[in-house]
Amino acid sequence: MTVKRVLTCVAVAATLGVVGSAIADQPFETEIEARQGQFKLLAFNLGPLVGMARGDIEYDAATAQASADNIAAIASLQQDRLWPAGSDSESVSGTRALPEIWEDTDDVMAKFEELRQAALAMQEAAGSGLDGVRGQLRTLGAACSSCHDAYRESQ
């Protein structure tokens, strides 16, 4: 590719970016979708572990380990850009993030760190038996609920 073609591509991409944000329906739509996306992925990967713990599906070490690996990876994502001030449920529609989040972001991020620690413990335990999954699921589930109880609007 010539230098000129590369520059043209960059220019087109930049223009599309500008147009893309100009036609966004509401402020912070992209950030809100991204943060909800990470939570959807958490829940998606928690599914098999919950199913196995309840006995709804048979324990399978590889599936349990893969789910736990994904949860640990998602819980380790850098959060800064996902929580812009003004993207709370009183300021914009389409989010359940309570304004209290921005009154004490240190506490919210501490809860996210608790989630990460619980996810790492699950990652250690998940591949070596159902007892480990059951044991760690309590801590992991508690990390989800403790943040939801404080900072997520109930439906």
Which positions lie near ligand HEC, rule CB under 6 A? Answer: 32, 35-36, 39-40, 42-43, 46, 95-97, 108, 111-112, 115, 140, 143-144, 147-148, 151-152
Q: Is 153 left (phi over 0), alpha (psi -120 to 50) or beta?
A: beta
CA 27 to chain centre: 20
Q: What CA–CA distance (Å, rounded) separates 26 from 93?
A: 8
Q: What CA–CA distance (Å, rounded) separates 76 from 10?
A: 31
Q: What CA–CA distance (Å, rounded) separates 95 from 152?
A: 9
| Closer to ligand HEC by Cβ: residue 4 or 154 | 154
- Shortest distance, position 78 Cβ to ligand HEC, whole Å: 14
- Shortest distance, position 72 Cβ to ligand HEC, whole Å: 11
- Shortest distance, position 134 Cβ to ligand HEC, whole Å: 16
| Closer to ligand HEC by Cβ: residue 15 or 105 | 105
